[in-house]
């Protein structure tokens, strides 16, 4: 009998009953010897980190890339859009591709996309090529996370393979702060080319590893229909325009006319795609199920937590930048966040309880509220060490909630049937990507408005006619007497410095307002969810009882 780990698709291998793939497009689950299991586990860990690095290294070095390519903030925003628009949508297409063409072809496509994305950057061919590379990178990252999950699941015992899936998602999140921690080392000599070489080297190793140890074969079915060629491009373009609206809105501000047009076309395209899917005999997306009360609550909860955890990518990072700290001074800070994120991923798996999935979400909301409120007293003297505890808590919570959320979505989808999984994949991907972008956009807009409000307050209190202000300007001007001989120039420079300090102080106060809003929203969400959780506990009701019963019935019918 052929080795299932080395053969092609299911035609080359006859599955035993317990080895059969869970669903078409997934690898089989044969009984591996211990050394092979260990190999699958190591490769899965590596692929999960690489998947996270595709976005993590971009976020960590976006400012460096902007300077290297001489980009405007709007140009840099399009680089972010290119990654997110492909990453958000391709999970749907890749899922159906695995079902139609098999797992091995899926692996080859993902590896080619990964190599291509990182190979293009080696030539440093300019802005347009960077956009292409980032778009392809979004495709690769979407597939790599799934590929990492498949490898990790092969390394776990049969009854614990769901842990491999959850670990892959968690490790991809760990890679984001880890990328910030190692980026200063890569750019120590100021050459951004080192970053491109590093990414390409990582992708070469990944290609070698998946060719050394293949995934077991899977089963294929006819998945694509002609109408998919219409609805998927409409959905992809609509989501892409929505990503552009959320990213560019905070850069060019929301009153820019073309943003309104982009949002309107986005709503039209996404709405039309969903209308077509709603009336199909065999839809790609189960719109009736996606519009159900439980799925809407699931999507909103996931998006809300992603909005709340945007405080870390925007709030704390922006605060430290405003204070004047650079990436070289934040290596230890991001190392702490990486460790906290890893702890959250591991603890989420260890404490996962299908009978009480809401408990972990409640813990995450409480921790986010606690951490955000701790940061509301930040000031000019705040340093990374002052944020270790609060931001580590938020980093922990950001990934701790993801395990139960994924488990809830999977249970709801699988209880309906394997065809509903593509809808779950779409809901989860869009809620996470768009929730993250919307969170940053909303917080950025709020921060801008609060900064202006604080500046108006300062303007009313800072006047050259005020004796204290005049005395301060005089001290600053006197300190520059050794370099400037013109008294008028010294006074003007001193006044400008006072204005800059006022702007910086206003920005810091606005970040405190951001932290307060995040803490308040998290606390409110916790109170509402906690009340519902207590109500269900007293009644002895499990919100997923029907789904668990349906899965047990399906499992009994297959045996």
- For 194-220, what is each residue's pLDDT tens digit? 888 888 888 889 888 888 888 887 777
* Torsion angles phi and psi, residue 126, rounded to 5: 110, -170
* Torsion angles phi and psi, residue 27, rounded to 5: -75, 160
Same domain (yes/no): 261, 212? no
Looking at residue 2, its pLDDT comes to 42
Same domain (yes/no): 31, 71? yes
Same domain (yes/no): 165, 82? yes
Q: Are 154 and 40 in contact (CB under 8 A)?
A: yes
CB within 8 A of 503, min separation 6: which ones? Answer: 451, 455
199 within some domain: yes
Q: What is the mean pLDDT of the chain?
A: 79
Same domain (yes/no): 172, 258? no
Looking at residue 16, its pLDDT comes to 67
Domains contained in the chain, number:
3
Looking at residue 152, its pLDDT comes to 87
Looking at residue 550, its pLDDT comes to 64
Same domain (yes/no): 94, 191? yes
Whole-number Å distance between alpha carbons of 468 and 463: 9
Q: What is the largest CA-CA distance in the chain?
A: 92
Tens-digit pLDDT profile for residues 508-527: 888 889 889 888 988 998 89
Looking at residue 559, its pLDDT comes to 53
Looking at residue 295, its pLDDT comes to 77
Q: Does residue 7 have a pLDDT over 50?
A: no
Looking at residue 15, its pLDDT comes to 62
Q: Report the pLDDT averaged over residues 272-291.
A: 80
Same domain (yes/no): 102, 175? yes
242 within some domain: yes
Same domain (yes/no): 499, 408? yes
Tens-digit pLDDT profile for residues 288-337: 777 777 777 777 777 777 777 776 777 788 888 888 787 788 888 889 99
Tens-digit pLDDT profile for residues 11-33: 455 666 666 666 666 777 777 78
Sign of CA pseudo-dihedral 526, 294, 397, 447: negative
Which pair of structure tokens corresponds to residue 306? Answer: 């992603």
Burial classification of residue 538, based on how many CB atoms lie within 10 Å of its CB (0-12 exposed, 13-18 middle, 19 or more buried): exposed
Query: Quick check: helix, strand or coil at residue 27?
Result: strand
Q: How many helices (H) and strands (E) does the chain have?
A: 20, 0
Q: Report the pLDDT averaged over residues 51-75.
A: 81
Angle of the 384-400 helix axis to the 358-374 helix axis, nearest 10: 160
Select from 265, 283, 301 the last residue of a domain: 283
298 within some domain: yes
CB within 8 A of 416, min separation 6: which ones? Answer: 286, 289, 550
389 within some domain: yes
Q: Are 378 and 319 in contact (CB under 8 A)?
A: yes
Q: How many CB atoms lie within 10 A of CB 540?
A: 7
429 within some domain: yes
* Torsion angles phi and psi, residue 136, rounded to 5: -65, -35
Same domain (yes/no): 450, 519? yes
Whole-number Å distance between alpha carbons of 364 and 347: 12
Same domain (yes/no): 77, 91? yes
- pLDDT band for 265, please (50, 70, 90 cuts): very high
Whole-number Å distance between alpha carbons of 89 and 94: 9
DSSP state of 474: H
3 within some domain: no
Q: Which domain holds residue 77?
A: 16-225
Q: Name the more confident of 544 and 61.
A: 61
**Which string of b and e fits 511-534 if b means at least 16 CB within 10 Å?**
bbbbbebbbebbbebbeebeeebe
Among candidate residues 48, 223, 229, 280, the one with its CA nearest the CA of residue 148: 48
Q: Does residue 477 have a pLDDT over 60?
A: no
Whole-number Å distance between alpha carbons of 133 and 79: 9
What DSSP line would sit under 93-130, residue for residue? HHHHHHHHH-HHHHHHHHHHHHHHHHHHHHTT--HHHH
CATH number at residue 515: 1.20.1250.20
Tens-digit pLDDT profile for residues 154-182: 888 877 778 888 888 888 888 888 888 88
Same domain (yes/no): 211, 233? no
556 within some domain: no
Among candidate residues 216, 43, 207, 236, the one with its CA nearest the CA of residue 110: 207
Select from 236, 257, 283 the last residue of a domain: 283
Q: Are 95 and 145 in contact (CB under 8 A)?
A: no
Same domain (yes/no): 342, 273? no
Same domain (yes/no): 301, 251? no
Looking at residue 525, its pLDDT comes to 87
7 within some domain: no
Q: Does residue 463 have a pLDDT over 60?
A: no
Q: Name the more confident of 279 and 285.
A: 279
Q: Are 286 and 423 in contact (CB under 8 A)?
A: yes
Select from 207, 225, 243 the last residue of a domain: 225
Q: Name the more confident of 184 and 542.
A: 184
Q: Does residue 10 have a pLDDT over 50?
A: no
């Amino acid at each position: 009998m052929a080795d299932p780990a080395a053969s092609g698709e299911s035609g080359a291998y006859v599955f035993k009953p317990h080895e059969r793939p869970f669903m078409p497009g997934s690898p089989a689950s044969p009984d591996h010897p211990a050394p092979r299991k260990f190999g699958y586990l190591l490769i899965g860990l590596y692929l999960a980190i690489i998947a996270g690095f595709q976005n993590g290294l971009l976020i960590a070095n976006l400012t460096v890339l902007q300077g290297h390519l001489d980009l405007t903030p709007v140009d840099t925003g399009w680089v972010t859009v290119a990654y997110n628009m492909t990453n958000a949508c391709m999970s749907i297409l890749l899922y159906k591709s695995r079902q139609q063409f098999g797992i091995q072809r899926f692996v080859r496509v993902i590896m080619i996309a990964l190599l291509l994305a990182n190979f293009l950057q080696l030539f440093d061919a300019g802005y347009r090529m960077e956009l292409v590379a980032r778009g392809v990178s979004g495709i690769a990252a979407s597939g790599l996370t799934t590929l990492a999950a498949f490898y990790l699941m092969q390394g776990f015992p049969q009854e614990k393979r769901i842990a491999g899936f959850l670990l892959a998602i968690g490790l991809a999140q760990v890679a984001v702060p880890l990328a910030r921690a190692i980026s200063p080392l890569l750019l120590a000599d100021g050459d951004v080319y080192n970053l491109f070489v590093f990414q390409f080297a990582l992708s070469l190793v990944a290609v070698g590893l998946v060719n050394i140890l293949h995934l077991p074969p899977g089963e294929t079915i006819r998945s694509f229909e002609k109408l998919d060629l219409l609805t998927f491009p409409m959905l992809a373009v609509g989501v892409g325009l929505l990503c552009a609206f959320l990213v560019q809105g905070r850069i060019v501000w929301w009153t820019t006319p073309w943003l309104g047009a982009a949002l309107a076309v986005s709503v039209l395209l996404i709405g039309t795609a969903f209308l077509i899917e709603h009336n199909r005999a065999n839809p790609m997306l189960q719109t009736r199920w996606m519009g159900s009360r439980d799925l809407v609550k699931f999507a909103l909860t996931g998006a809300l937590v992603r909005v709340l955890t945007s405080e870390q990518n925007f709030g704390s990072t922006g605060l430290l930048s405003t204070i004047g700290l650079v990436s070289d001074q934040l290596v230890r800070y991001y190392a702490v966040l990486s460790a906290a994120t890893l702890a959250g991923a591991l603890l989420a798996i260890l404490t996962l309880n299908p009978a009480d999935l809401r408990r972990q979400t409640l813990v995450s909301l409480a921790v986010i509220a606690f951490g955000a409120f701790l940061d509301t007293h930040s000031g000019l003297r705040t340093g990374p060490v002052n944020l270790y505890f609060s931001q580590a808590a938020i980093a922990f919570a950001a990934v701790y909630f993801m395990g139960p959320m994924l488990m809830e979505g999977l249970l709801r989808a699988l209880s309906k049937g394997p065809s509903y999984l593509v809808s779950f994949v779409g809901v989860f991907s869009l809620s996470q990507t768009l929730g993250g972008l919307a969170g940053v956009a909303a917080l950025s807009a709020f921060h801008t408005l609060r900064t202006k409000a604080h500046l108006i307050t300062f303007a009313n209190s800072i006047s050259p006619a005020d004796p204290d202000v005049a005395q301060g300007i005089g001290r600053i001007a006197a300190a520059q007497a050794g370099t400037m001989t013109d008294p008028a120039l010294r006074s003007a420079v001193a006044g400008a410095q006072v204005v800059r300090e006022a702007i910086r102080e206003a920005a810091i106060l606005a970040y405190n307002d951001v932290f307060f809003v995040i803490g308040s929203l998290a606390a409110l969400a916790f109170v509402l969810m906690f009340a519902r959780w207590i109500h269900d506990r007293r009644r002895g009701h499990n919100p997923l009882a029907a789904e668990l019963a349906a899965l047990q019935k399906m499992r009994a019918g297959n045996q």
